[in-house]
Amino acid sequence: MTAPAFTLIFLLFVALSFAFGSLLTLRHIAHVRTHRAAVPAEFSESITLEAHQKAADYTIAKNRLGLVESVFDLVFLLAITLGGGMLLIHNLAATWFSGSYALGLAIFAGLMIVSFLISTPFDLYRTFVIEQKFGFNKLTWKLYLIDGIKGLALGAAIGVPLLLVTFWLMEKMGGLWWLYVWLVWLVFSLTIIVIYPTFIAPLFNKFLPLADIALKERIETLLTRCGFTSSGLFVMDGSKRSSHGNAYFTGLGKTKRIVFFDTLIERLSPSEIEAVLAHELGHFKRKHVTKMIIGQFALTFVILALMGWVIDKPWFYEGAGFSLNGTVPHVAISLALFFMVLPVFTFWLTPLGSLISRKHEFEADTYAAQQTQAHDLITALVKLYRDNASTLTPDPLHSAVYDSHPPAAIRIAHLKAMQT
């Protein structure tokens, strides 16, 4: 492989992934707009035309913003790589920091600052314009700023030690450095999963024990029936940031928690809440979380092994816009450049990930229908589609590539077939 050849391959994949992604977004917008005028027949008795059109407009607004954001992301990627941005950041950092580890951290800090400056305007517009317009945003500017400061502090507290260990392993462990990094990242990821419920999540939200005694007894009966143990049932104050509703499991082993958004508790009946929880239990019983974690670790193993192969190849750096001039690049450059370039190639795995996720959702729905009434899950989902302004008419190709959940009509039809 030569540097010019890699540059051409990189540009080809950049062009193809951007063009295909943009085409999918434009198709999705057009499809949703075309079906905006009428509620799909299967939802005509449960979703009003006003709610359907709100979901269509919300979907179109989000995707239009996403399309603009993808253009800026493309420019950023090309500027950082072939435009010499990575080299500029390295040279600026090198004028201030001479130590290897300090220089590495400075390089990553520079990349994060540039990325922050590009992404923040879109995040602000998404939160305070789109979410506000459609009645979902509950964030104040003060809370937004506090969340940002907490996130930055938490990211530094967790990320800096992990980066330093990674740099050290890359410098000291020879040709198999990537294997040691993978093992460290594996332990780190599992540790975060374990400590997240009790140490990280409470930094941003309040978690109170479920106070509704009747609902708690109902849920505990379901948990016993399904053979699931948890460290508690909690209600999260999601309403202080958004009116969207959800429920989820978090943690591993004895740290497993069941968390309901307060908005979900307010909108669904006890039987519907039980059905939604049964769906989440289905993911547990079918070992979807375990499979997902193993799959992610396996993919990370392959990715790091690939990086271990290209890290000493001059054509990779020169082809991605970082001029070596006979020098050995800092390991931070290797790490950052590789993970900047990688998504251009892994984008094409997105449909496979979405397919696996939708398969898991169907399996979880089937389990829920076996443990509770399918009708209760159907009515709960319809309420969630309505209250979260989820479009009922996604473009089929866009959905096949991106959606982790089956389209509403297909999912509801699957549940209706299991009604007793």
User: What are the residue numbers of the active site?
Assistant: 280, 365
Q: Is the four-CA dihedral 372, 365, 407, 63 of positive or negative sign?
A: positive
φ/ψ (deg, to 5) at 395: -65, 130
**φ, ψ at 264 (rounded to 5°):** -70, -45
CA torsion 355→360→362→367, rounded to 10°? 170
CA–CA gap between residue 165 and residue 129 (Å, rounded): 41
| Identity of residue 41 | A
Q: Which residue has the tokens 């004895």?
A: 254
Burial of 4 (0-12, 13-18, 19+ CB in 10 A): exposed
Residue 368 C-beta-side C-alpha neighbours within 13 Å: 30
Which three-class secondary structure string do you get for 160-185?
HHHHHHHHHHHHHCHHHHHHHHHHHH
Contact by Cβ (8 Å): 393, 42: no
Report the distance separating Cα 33 and Cα 232, nearest Å.
43
Cα within 13 Å of Cα(49), Cβ side: 4
Q: How is residue 197 annotated by DSSP?
A: I
Cβ-Cβ contacts under 8 Å for 136 (sequence gap 6 or more): 242, 243, 244, 389
Distance CA 132, CA 138 (A): 8
What is the token pair recorded at 193? Answer: 């999963």
Task: For the beta carbon of residue 56, count every other beta carbon within 10 angstroms.
Answer: 22
Contact 361, 411 (CB under 8 A): yes
How many whole angstroms separate alpha carbon 288 and alpha carbon 151? 28
